[in-house]
């Protein structure tokens, strides 16, 4: 059997050294990666509790829309309807809820405001291709006439309805 050339011997030593280096850092790196993943997973699971019909109480001015009542409350409505398409995990959606309620109380009788939880109502969400939150859609005569995205102030809501 022949002896390896000096180049092959040096390459083998370098490979062994690299393997030893890799093995030295591999385990701590994997442990650190696992710890970071676990920390991110745990913190991601602590979402704010969504406000539902049970939390809203009887003072709610906005109509709670569902896949079942959307046709009768929005499409067949004689009044203009501003629909807030919101998600319980969406921070701006939750922050805007008091503004939506105040606006609904302000325009009662001249127009309606409805709130639709997109997570619980997939039919309407898909039909109107809702992929940004919050999405506000104004319906007149059962037809979509305006669509805006993002958190809005009370004054901006007034402008949406008046245009």
> What is the end-to-end Cα distance of the chain in Å, rounded?
92
Q: Give residue 22's pLDDT.
A: 55
Which architecture does CATH list for 53-162?
Answer: 3-Layer(aba) Sandwich (3.40)
Residue 93: name the closest of 65, 133, 126 by CA: 133
Q: Which of 93, 111, 113, 157 is catalytic?
A: 93
Q: Which pTM value belongs to this model?
A: 0.65
| 87 class by beta-carbon count within 10 Å (0-12 exposed, 13-18 middle, 19+ buried) | buried
Q: Which of 74, 82, 83, 90 is catalytic?
A: 90
Q: Give residue 71's pLDDT.
A: 98
Residue 110 CB partners (closer than 8 Å, separation 6+): 79
Task: Please say if 90 is a catalytic residue.
Answer: yes
Task: Please say if 93 is a catalytic residue.
Answer: yes
Per-10-residue mean pLDDT, the chain, length 163: 62 62 57 56 46 45 96 97 97 96 96 97 97 97 97 97 89
């Amino acid at each position: 059997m022949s002896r390896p050339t000096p180049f092959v011997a040096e390459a083998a030593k370098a490979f062994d050294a690299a393997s030893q280096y890799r093995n030295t850092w591999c385990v701590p790196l994997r442990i650190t990666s696992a710890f970071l993943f676990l920390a991110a997973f745990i913190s991601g699971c602590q979402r704010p509790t969504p406000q539902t019909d049970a939390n809203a109480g009887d003072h709610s001015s906005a109509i709670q829309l569902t896949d079942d009542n959307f046709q009768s409350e929005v499409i067949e409505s004689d009044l203009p309807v501003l629909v807030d398409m919101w998600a319980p995990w969406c921070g701006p959606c939750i922050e805007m809820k008091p503004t939506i309620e105040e606006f609904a109380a302000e325009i009662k009788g001249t127009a309606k405001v409805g709130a639709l939880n997109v997570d619980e109502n997939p039919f309407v969400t898909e039909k109107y291709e809702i992929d940004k939150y919050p999405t506000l859609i104004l319906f007149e005569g059962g037809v979509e006439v305006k669509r805006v995205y993002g958190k809005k102030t009370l004054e901006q809501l007034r402008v949406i309805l008046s245009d």
